[in-house]
Amino acid sequence: EVHESRKAVIDAEKCVRCLRCAEVCHFGAIHVNSHRVHIDPILCEGCGACVHACPHEAVSLYTTRTGYVVTAETGSGILLVYGDLAVGGRGSGHLVYAVKAEAQKLARQREVSLLIIDAAAGIGCPVISSIAGASHLIVVVEPTIQSLQGAKRLLEATHRFNLSKALVINKVTNEHQILLLQNSLNLPLLGVIPYDPSIPSIYASTTSPFEASDRVVKCIVEVCNRASEWLE
């Protein structure tokens, strides 16, 4: 377990129901329930504003579970380590750090030389925590303005990380999209994966993406092979 999230709690004996805490809560987590002031732990972000606002010191913060580090093994023998974020848990880089530490420990025990980290989208703390200490970065982008801008922000945020970078383009429908994205990001291209409308339903049924069309599967295999060569 990883304990990092903070939640607020009210001492009913000290509380006089002045509702100063509710006035400063930006998350709508504080309300009166059965003549008592109650803080919803799901909505509470643990910012501590209510603690400082209370004139009677009736509010305090406590540490709660952020999530679990889970280890599993696929049917093909690939070791998988991932984080299971608790409902309302703090989405910081701490859980990612704990997952990486466990994965690195298992990799040393099994004498595994390659550790692949699947980072979230964006440039927030979990992403930076995922990338820290890596040697290579594969940027996966889709042919949308939002995805392109996100990729540019990621490259800007990581330009001091001394990473070898390459590009994979996903959900492609025409050649123009490939040229536009490759020219915009100026990265070596490892491969292209075409758009397949069956992929969302495949993920929803928790089956492998290799259940997709032969064309998509072939492209995924090509990307994996080129990435393996690039990493060497």
CB 80 within 8 A of CB 74: yes
Asked, for residue 231, whether it belongs to a domain, the answer is yes
- The answer on 51 and 140 residing in a single domain is no
What are the tens digits of pLDDT across the range 158-210? 888 889 999 999 999 999 999 999 999 999 999 999 998 888 888 888 777 77
- What residues does 191 pair with on adjacent strands? 168
Measured CA to CA, the distance from residue 224 to residue 228 in angstroms comes to 6
Q: What pLDDT is recorded for position 92?
A: 67
pTM, rounded to two decimals: 0.73
Q: How many domains are there within the chain?
A: 2
- Choose the final residue of a domain: 65, 96, 116: 65
- 141: domain range? 135-232
Q: What pLDDT is recorded for position 91?
A: 67
- The answer on 58 and 143 residing in a single domain is no
- The answer on 139 and 60 residing in a single domain is no
Q: What are phi and psi of 161, to 5 degrees?
A: -85, -5
What are the tens digits of pLDDT across the range 80-114? 898 888 776 666 677 888 889 999 999 899 888 88
Q: What pLDDT is recorded for position 129?
A: 87
Asked, for residue 140, whether it belongs to a domain, the answer is yes
CATH of the domain at 183: 3.40.50.300
What percent of the chain is modeled with pLDDT above 70?
A: 97
- Choose the final residue of a domain: 38, 65, 92: 65
